[in-house]
Amino acid sequence: MPRLSEYMLPTEKQAPADAEAISHKLMVRAGLIRQMGAGMWTWLPAGWRVHQNVVGIVREEMDAIGGQELLMPVLQPAEPWRKTGRLEIDELFKLSDRKGSELVLAMTHEEAVTFHAAQTIRSYRDLPQIVYHFQVKERDEPRPRAGVLRTREFVMKDSYSFDRDQAGMEERYALHVGAYDRMMKRTGLRWYRVEGDVGMMGGLGAHEYMAPCPAGEDEVMLGEDGYAANVEVANASPEVEKMGEDRYIRNGRPLRIEPAIEVGNIFKLGTRYSIPLGASYLDEQGQEQPVWMASYGIGPARIVAAAVEQYADEHGISWPRALAPFAVHLVGLGRPGTPERDAAEQVYETLSGGGIDTLYDDRDLGPGEKFAEAELLGCPLRLTVGRRTLESGEIEVQVRRGRIAAAGIPLEGEPGGLVRAVDELWQGLP
């Protein structure tokens, strides 16, 4: 586990001048991300840990429904995109190699995965299948903004299901709905699953996973009876009536509109891609049939940003337990060689040896600066070891969410006791 004296965590006192979204301001200030160009962001070590915590949750839930992880290229031939009619999408990066061959930088991987399905699926015995990957996507975004919320390059988990018919596709779609619901619950976000528009993906239907927050560019229409849809879908529904400026009703009941960040979307593609790209199988009678498909995307970066937006306070970030870069931010006070610093070193060794994810601030700085940076970074637990610890015999504990002082933990005693006490605190956090 890292010591801050050796760790790349370039915190800033001021937010970027162009930053408007809370997540943009705080993720830069906390040393999680840095911008290289418009819509192009580098994830620094602590930020990448948060990102990969999301990836871990998503991977576990995908594996649980039978997903098989693979990796497809970002750089692709243009021809499959031409066959599906998507080559002319404005946001698609297009280029040529030195031989003049037309290429694209993929913004999603329906064409690639269907190309491979056409080669590998031969019989009804080969179905159903679910495959997924975490891969960089490129998008010629006309107005990158809000830090990592709207970028030109990002990592997305996209999965794809292949079935014999619509009934099979609906089964795999339902599996993904369950998996996505569990993913969202595990992240600690507030979220909605809403009816969505198929948009450029095409197909038979879609749902979107929305995290409500003021910085969101999307709008969700919500009813007290559980109705939830994005505004475009709601406006197109015959059940929804517009009663005035931003006033809607459905079945006589009022609806409210809330801004939100779209963090995931799932689509029933049907045969939208399999027919133009020749993905078919032979049924029991030897008849050729098109493969039925669905696709499912989720953005780890957007989940990270949504968590910052939803739980930040005036002092900085306050991570949900599942996403935090470290469980514990250990602040050691006193100069090197003093008894209090020696005690902090021992606590650090004990926690690290006990498997507790710990970031140790061992820098030669004042308490105020160390505490301010700990609150900015937002790890769920802050432990402080200083002169007062030696006097009282207890390590000071603060829960970051709400900045609540918890009962102190005895400094002396067997190492396992300290690890168990911290773990019990950790398990009880949101």
For residues 390 and 285, state if they share a domain.
no
Please indicate, yes or no, if residue 63 is contained in any of the structural domains. Answer: yes
Describe the crossing of helices 22-29 and 300-311 by its angle, rounded to 10 degrees.
100
Output the tens digit of pLDDT for each of the chain's 430 residues: 799 999 999 999 999 999 999 999 999 999 999 999 999 999 999 999 999 999 999 999 999 999 999 999 999 999 999 999 999 999 999 999 999 999 999 999 999 999 999 999 999 999 999 999 999 999 999 999 899 999 999 999 999 999 999 999 999 999 999 999 999 999 999 999 998 877 665 567 889 999 999 888 889 999 988 888 888 888 888 889 988 877 899 988 999 999 999 999 999 999 999 999 999 999 999 999 999 999 999 999 999 999 999 999 999 999 999 999 999 999 999 999 999 999 999 999 999 999 999 999 999 999 999 999 999 999 999 999 999 999 999 999 999 999 999 999 999 888 889 999 999 999 999 8
Please indicate, yes or no, if residue 12 is contained in any of the structural domains. Answer: yes
> For residue 194, what is the domain's CATH number?
3.30.930.10
Please indicate, yes or no, if residue 148 is contained in any of the structural domains. Answer: yes
Q: How many CB atoms lie within 10 A of CB 410?
A: 12
Is-contact 208 230, C-beta < 8 A? yes
For residues 418 and 293, state if they share a domain.
no
For residues 302 and 383, state if they share a domain.
no
**Which parts of 266-414 fold into alpha helices (H)?**
274-277, 300-311, 339-353, 367-377, 387-392
Cβ-Cβ contacts under 8 Å for 410 (sequence gap 6 or more): 393, 394, 395, 417, 418, 421
For residues 102 and 150, state if they share a domain.
yes
For residues 278 and 397, state if they share a domain.
no
Please indicate, yes or no, if residue 230 is contained in any of the structural domains. Answer: no
For residues 292 and 419, state if they share a domain.
no
Q: What is the pTM of this model?
A: 0.94
Write out the residue range of the structural domain in which residue 418 sits.
Answer: 328-427
**How far apart, in whole angstroms, are the C-alpha atoms of residue 411 and residue 393?**
5
For residues 297 and 403, state if they share a domain.
no
Distances in Å between the Cα of 293 and the Cα atoms of 121, 168, 227, 426, 429 are 13, 9, 27, 41, 40
For residues 284 and 334, state if they share a domain.
no
Total domains in the fold of the chain: 2
**How far apart, in whole angstroms, are the C-alpha atoms of residue 139 and residue 144?**
10
> For residue 334, what is the domain's CATH number?
3.40.50.800
Single-letter code of the amino acid located at 87? L
**How far apart, in whole angstroms, are the C-alpha atoms of residue 342 and residue 268?**
60
For residues 303 and 423, state if they share a domain.
no
Q: Give the three-state DSSP class for 86.
A: coil
